[in-house]
């Protein structure tokens, strides 16, 4: 993507090409393999689950546990990784997460029973949740202000690309090996490959310059900044980072004690709200159960797996649009548009499910509406969510606060993944979607009243402004 996709006009001293720009691109590509793994490991269950049911003897309860155990692990992983990233560094934690991704993927592949699979998916979830916090934080702290939106959102692009890859490999493997009892194992093992790439890649990547500065390692921070900035800008940016780091140190920021400060506590509540808003749209009912939704609407089993690829394709295309829009319009309006669009799509899904008989026509309409839903979710709501959570918290407690917000996000994700089949069984699919519509309206009201604007400001300037706003 072109570098013209920026949040604000670039300073005259910022290179638009050359060694620094190339280095920044390489760092972004390597780090976002964490997002690719996030996407693949959350999306692969969509097509693998029907084959697991017979091979592992899944009941409705264990089916829900297999799906949601990864999300429970992600809830814990998000919080733990955020805290550890503040203590040990962003890069080191990403290396640890790559190893957990590999172990978790292989454990899932060779799981001999449903119980073992639930445990293995939980372990894999620790890495998924950890990556959801640490990778955006790392990218936000190493990016220049005017390119932060585009670079951080490339992680979201890798997430949806991972989901598309999962849907595509699911369909290809099911088509080639559909009669094999262990077809789902081939779907799961693919995730081990990008885990290896992430680990080896991060071995030669630098640490976050802002984390280094917060630890008093100013010489190392300057060396990293010079890799991705001009010399003049690196010096001036380090001075600003150092000033905020010293101020945070004086205020003993960085953990639970810091939540006694009113403006920090209020800002954390806003961050948690943003995280919950992304999940209550109902996106993961489609990402985890999309194949089953399409099958129940009128598609055949194989037809549903193939048709579900359309959800992955639109997610990737919409994320490209989201990256483009982040450079041109403010974050808050994008979040409002995304929420309004997803709520409307779910309302129409409920109407179609209530009024049309099961059949191919209904299936096609449901697919069209899930695609529309994902266009708004992945083109607006999700990119803004992860970007804003990487921006709004103070430097010294950024990983800690991001971890708390992400813990809430993954907890909401877990509840949606676990309860969706139960709600559909008790209420029917149409009423279930109407529940998400009602919650979506409340989410729109929250964003309109409480969410700040963050576009086009350095992390240090933004911290100063939010300190004043929420004091």
In CATH, what number is assigned to the domain containing residue 87? 1.20.1250.20
Is 231 inside any structural domain? no
Collapsed DSSP state (helix, strand, coil) of residue 50: helix
Neighbour count for residue 172 (Cβ, 10 Å):
15
What is the rounded distance in angstroms from the CA atom of residue 454 to the CA atom of residue 334? Answer: 12
| Cβ-proximal residues to 56 (8 Å cutoff; 6+ apart), any chain | 62, 66, 111, 113, 114, 117
Is 458 inside any structural domain? yes
Q: Using alpha carbons, select from 282, 283, 304, 306 the residue that is nearest to residue 294.
A: 304
- Residue ranges in the chain whose pLDDT is less than 50: 1-17, 252-253
Is 10 inside any structural domain? no
Collapsed DSSP state (helix, strand, coil) of residue 327: coil
pLDDT at 415: 85
- Give buried/exposed letters for 6-20 (b at 16+ CB in 10 A, else e): bbeebeeebbeeeeb
What is the rounded distance in angstroms from the CA atom of residue 165 to the CA atom of residue 280? Answer: 25
Q: How far is CA 114 from CA 198, 295, 298, 323, 342, in A?
A: 29, 24, 29, 39, 34
Is 239 inside any structural domain? no
Neighbour count for residue 112 (Cβ, 10 Å):
8
Is 220 inside any structural domain? no
pLDDT at 249: 61
pLDDT at 228: 86
Domain span at residue 342? 19-205+251-469
> pLDDT digits over 173-216, tens only?
988 886 677 899 999 999 999 999 999 999 999 999 989 988 88
Q: Using alpha carbons, select from 62, 54, 306 the residue that is nearest to residue 179.
A: 54
Is 226 inside any structural domain? no
5 in Cβ contact with 327 (< 8 Å): yes
Is 124 inside any structural domain? yes
What is the rounded distance in angstroms from the CA atom of residue 171 to the CA atom of residue 163? Answer: 12
Number of domains present in the structure of the chain: 1
Q: What is the sign, positive or negative, of the torsion defined by CA atoms of 304, 305, 306, 310?
A: positive
Is 33 inside any structural domain? yes
């Amino acid at each position: 993507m072109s570098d013209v996709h920026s949040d604000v006009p670039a300073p005259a001293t910022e290179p638009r090409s050359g060694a620094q720009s190339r280095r920044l691109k390489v760092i972004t590509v390597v780090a976002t393999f964490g997002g690719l793994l996030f996407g693949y490991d959350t999306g692969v269950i969509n097509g693998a689950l029907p084959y697991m049911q017979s091979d592992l003897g899944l009941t409705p309860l264990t089916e829900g546990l297999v799906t949601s155990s990864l999300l429970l692990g992600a809830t814990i992983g998000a919080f733990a990784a955020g805290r550890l990233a503040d203590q040990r560094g962003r890069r080191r934690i990403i290396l640890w997460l790559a190893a957990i991704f590999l172990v978790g993927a292989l454990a899932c592949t060779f799981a001999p029973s449903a119980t073992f699979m639930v445990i293995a998916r939980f372990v894999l979830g620790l890495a998924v949740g950890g990556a959801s916090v640490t990778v955006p934080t790392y990218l936000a702290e190493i990016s220049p202000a005017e390119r932060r939106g585009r670079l951080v959102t490339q992680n979201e692009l890798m997430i949806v690309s991972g989901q598309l890859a999962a849907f595509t490999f699911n369909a290809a493997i099911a088509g080639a090996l559909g009669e094999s009892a262990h077809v789902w194992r081939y779907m799961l093992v693919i995730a081990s490959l990008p885990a290896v790439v992430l680990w080896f890649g991060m071995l030669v990547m630098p640490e976050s310059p802002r984390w280094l500065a917060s630890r008093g390692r100013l010489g190392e921070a300057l060396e990293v900044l010079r890799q991705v900035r001009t010399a003049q800008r690196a010096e001036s940016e380090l001075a600003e980072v150092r000033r905020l780091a010293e101020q945070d140190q004086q205020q003993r920021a960085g953990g639970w004690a810091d939540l006694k400060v009113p403006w920090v506590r209020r800002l954390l509540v806003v961050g948690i709200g943003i995280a919950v808003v992304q999940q209550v749209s109902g996106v993961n009912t489609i990402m985890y159960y999309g194949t089953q939704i399409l099958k129940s609407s009128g598609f055949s089993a194989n037809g549903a797996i193939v048709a579900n690829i359309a959800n992955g394709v639109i997610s990737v295309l919409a994320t490209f649009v989201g990256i483009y829009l982040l450079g041109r319009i403010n974050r808050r309006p994008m979040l409002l548009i995304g929420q309004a669009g997803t709520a409307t799509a779910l309302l129409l899904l409920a109407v179609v499910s209530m009024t049309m008989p099961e059949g191919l026509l209904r299936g096609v309409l449901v697919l069209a509406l899930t695609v529309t839903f994902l266009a708004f979710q992945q083109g607006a709501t999700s990119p803004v969510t992860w970007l804003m959570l990487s921006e709004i918290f103070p430097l010294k407690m950024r990983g800690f606060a991001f971890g708390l917000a992400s813990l809430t996000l993954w907890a909401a994700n877990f509840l949606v993944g676990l309860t969706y089949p139960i709600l559909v069984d008790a209420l029917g699919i149409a009423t279930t979607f109407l529940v998400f519509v009602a919650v979506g309206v409340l989410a729109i009201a929250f964003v309109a009243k409480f969410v700040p604007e963050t576009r086009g400001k350095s992390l240090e300037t933004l911290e100063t402004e939010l300190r004043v706003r929420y004091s």
